[in-house]
Amino acid sequence: MTKEELNAPDEIEVALSKFWDKLVKYKKVLLGAVGGLVAVALLLWIIGMTAQSSAEGRSEAMRTAIAPLGGEVGEPDPQLAALPGPKPERFPDEATRAAEAKKRLATYVSEHGSDDALELVTLTDANLLIETGDPAGAVAAIDQWLAKYPKSPARIVALEIKARALTAKGDRPAAIAAWQELAGAAAGEFKADALRHVGDLENPVLADGGDAAKAKAAYDAALAALGPAPEEVAFQFAPQGLRGDIQNRLDLLPAQ
């Protein structure tokens, strides 16, 4: 995205469409431990910051709404606090930070419901419902989002949020189905990670009522999604990452 593309408010939609393409290509990078939605929020902040004229009020509202997503928790480092320049907002704990982010996003959506960024803002808000202890609300919000944006390139992000929400909710059968749906829509490491979650939910060591045979099938499929293991000698001493994590789970499965 260039400054020229983002300079005029009527070109924000064009800039967003280019981001959709990047989201599809780099979805594995964007989806981290918290859903990767901070990266999305940063993109929205850039769009808001560079938009001009009639979008100025909306840009300021967006900056205010997403500030808690990049906020920090706990006491600041004295040396860092003494440095000049703007500082991120600070919150006493993660629950407070997430609750404030949810509150501000709700305000933004109510005031700018027709905004081009609404698709991502509402997705971010759904993710925050998990962090604030409302996984059932997150599932309902994602189902509404999927119905409204069935062809969105961000759909895979929504599926990941739904799977995590169902897991947090404790609905094991539905969570397994959600992770399987995500695996069917993904590839490579992202597919493997979804199948690892399926295996964990079927693993009798980790889940009551698990089935070792089903867990093994899921873990085997996860390894297959990663492709052949590297054969170079250097990799023999390197951290195994996701592949090693899945293999460890396989090795610890009870005898079938």
Instruction: Determine the pLDDT at residue 193.
Output: 92
SS (H, E, C) 97-127: HHHHHHHHHHHHHHHCCCCCCHHHHHHHHHH
Distance CA 204, CA 213 (A): 10
Distance between CA atoms of residues 202 and 180, nearest Å = 12
CB 28 within 8 A of CB 190: yes
Element (H, E) at 72: strand 72-73
| Mean pLDDT lowest among 75-84, 144-153, 193-202, 206-215 | 75-84
Using alpha carbons only, give the angle 156, 158, 163 rounded to the nearest 5 degrees: 95
Coil, helix or strand for 21?
A: helix
Residue whose C-alpha is closest to residue 156's, from 127, 198, 185, 193: 185
- Stretch 197-202: mean pLDDT: 96
pLDDT band with cut points at 50, 70 and 90 for residue 147: very high
- Are the beta carbons of 198 and 189 closer than 8 angstroms? no
pLDDT of residue 83: 66
pLDDT at position 114 is 59
Q: Does domain 1-71+90-170 have CATH number 1.10.3470?
A: no
Query: pLDDT tens-digit profile of 85-107?
Result: 666 778 888 888 878 887 887 78
Nearest in space to 194 (alpha carbons), one of 27, 19, 23, 39: 27
DSSP 10: G
Note the pLDDT of residue 48. 46
Phi, psi for residue 203 in degrees, rounded to 5: -75, 115
Residue 164 has pLDDT above 90, yes or no: yes
Q: What is the pLDDT of residue 86?
A: 65
Question: Mean of the pLDDT values across residues 194-202?
Answer: 95
The H or E element spanning position 91 is: strand 90-91
pLDDT at 171 over 90: yes
- Residue 256 pLDDT > 50: yes
Rounded-to-integer distance, Cα 91 and Cα 89, Å: 7
**Domains of the chain: which residue ranges?**
1-71+90-170, 171-256
pLDDT in tens, 38-71: 445 444 444 444 444 345 566 677 777 777 777 7
Query: What confidence tens digit (pLDDT) does each residue in 219-251 have?
Result: 999 999 988 877 654 444 444 688 888 999 999
